[in-house]
Amino acid sequence: MALDFERSDIGLPPGSAVYVGDRHPEEIALSIIGYDPVGSWVKSAKTVDELLQYRNASGITWINVNGFRESDAISRLAEVYKIHPLTIEDILNTEHRPKVEEFDDYLFITLKEISNPEDSPFVFDQISIVLTANTVITFQETAGDSFDGIRKRILSNLGRVRKHGAEYLAYSLMDSVVDRYFLVLDTLGATIEDFEERAVDVKDVAFISDLQETKQRLHHARRAIWPLRESLSVLLRTESVYVNEVLTPFLKDLQDNVIQAAETVESYREAISGIMEVHLSAASNRLNKVMKVLTIISTIFIPLTFIVGVYGMNFTHMPELNSVYGYPIVWGIMILIAIGMIAFFKSRDWL
């Protein structure tokens, strides 16, 4: 069970491990975690200067800026860690596509986190990561705690994070974001299966709008996933000081997961196109049946309309006008014509 206290002195020896329990990180705008193979500590602050006193701590440090409302914090961190103004611009531009860029003093990674709140459209949050030699700085677009699992693993000394350097922490953060892709895609898969059952129900008036909304979700998901696939490929091909022999297998596994997510998105897009074709085909078949019935009815009434039209003319001298049996004879002829046409249509399998 984790103890609820912090290491008060950052200069304590490595053996003085500290664990923190039952916090509410979503209420913390700025936080820093430090760790090494045998110990860990965590601090929260209202200003960057409160955190910078721990900048030269031994081991690995992870600074998290939770929400872009802390623009002063971002500027101060950029000044201290020599982050390029173009990187700051990319961090604040939440519409920027995912990418990986290497600078002289750090590696910059930006990617999209996808969440699927219940009964709500997808939510896309931008996650930016600045990786230096022994420090990782993360910027989250909205307040929350997307990396709570990694934080708990660090403080509880679970997994590999405490055994590796800052580059492995950056990988773990990216892997956490990618894992969420599959949770969202699983939800989409269930939705698409439901659409397959609804596709032949032409009376489902909400089908088209629901399907179009799901198609838009897939489009946005594709925009978030595909650029990350390309960025990881570039990172693995280049000789970066932040990609060592230990990290390379993990990055390749992460790339495989991103490729799998991207291919899943493409398969879902194709499935939606096929479902749309099935629905339109079902609607077309139903319309054809209706038009077939209406056409047959109209065809039957053509000769009947001709007959009553002829006898509806008001000429004085017309045959059968004065006949006693003229009216029932005309009715008999029209009934025979209708029966004969129906029999003819059935013989041709038109009915």
For the segment 175-197, what is each residue's pLDDT rounded down to a tens digit? 999 998 998 899 888 888 888 88
Tell me, yes or no, whether 253 and 150 share the same domain: yes
Assigned domain for 1 exists: no
Output the pLDDT for position 145: 64
| 113-145 pLDDT tens trace | 888 766 566 788 889 999 998 899 998 877 666
pLDDT mean over 294-309? 86
Residue with more model confidence, 321 or 50: 50
Conformational region of residue 24, where left means phi above 0, alpha means psi within -120 to 50, and beta covers everything else? beta
Output the pLDDT for position 308: 84
Tell me, yes or no, whether 160 and 220 share the same domain: yes
Tell me, yes or no, whether 221 and 81 share the same domain: yes
Assigned domain for 13 exists: no
Tell me, yes or no, whether 240 and 125 share the same domain: yes
| 261-282 pLDDT tens trace | 999 999 999 999 898 888 888 8
Helix/strand/coil for 137 = strand
Rounded CA separation 87/110 (Å): 10
Tell me, yes or no, whether 198 and 223 share the same domain: yes
Assigned domain for 3 exists: no
Domain of 214, in residue numbers: 25-280
Tell me, yes or no, whether 237 and 325 share the same domain: no
Q: Which of 280, 306, 336 is the C-terminal boundary of a domain?
A: 280
| 20 Cβ contact partners less than 8 Å away, ≥ 6 residues apart | 2, 3, 4, 5, 6, 42, 155
Indicate the average pLDDT of the chain.
81
Assigned domain for 208 exists: yes
Output the pLDDT for position 120: 62
Tell me, yes or no, whether 256 and 313 share the same domain: no
Q: Element (H or E) spanning 217, and its range?
A: helix 207-237
| 216-239 pLDDT tens trace | 888 888 988 999 988 888 888 877
Output the pLDDT for position 329: 82
Tell me, yes or no, whether 328 and 192 share the same domain: no
Number of structural domains (the chain) is 2
Tell me, yes or no, whether 244 and 318 share the same domain: no
Confidence of residue 55 (pLDDT cuts 50, 70, 90): confident
Assigned domain for 220 exists: yes
Q: Is the pLDDT of residue 10 over 50?
A: no
Query: What is the domain-level CATH number for residue 196?
Result: 3.30.460.20
Tell me, yes or no, whether 97 and 213 share the same domain: yes
pTM (two decimals): 0.74
| 34-48 pLDDT tens trace | 998 888 888 888 788
Output the pLDDT for position 4: 33
Query: What is the domain-level CATH number for residue 303?
Result: 1.20.58.340
Confidence of residue 69 (pLDDT cuts 50, 70, 90): low
Q: Element (H or E) spanning 285, and its range?
A: helix 248-310
Tell me, yes or no, whether 314 and 272 share the same domain: no
In whole angstroms, how far apart are CA 128 and each of 125, 175, 256, 328? Answer: 10, 13, 21, 90
Q: Which of 280, 304, 322 is the C-terminal boundary of a domain?
A: 280
Tell me, yes or no, whether 275 and 304 share the same domain: no
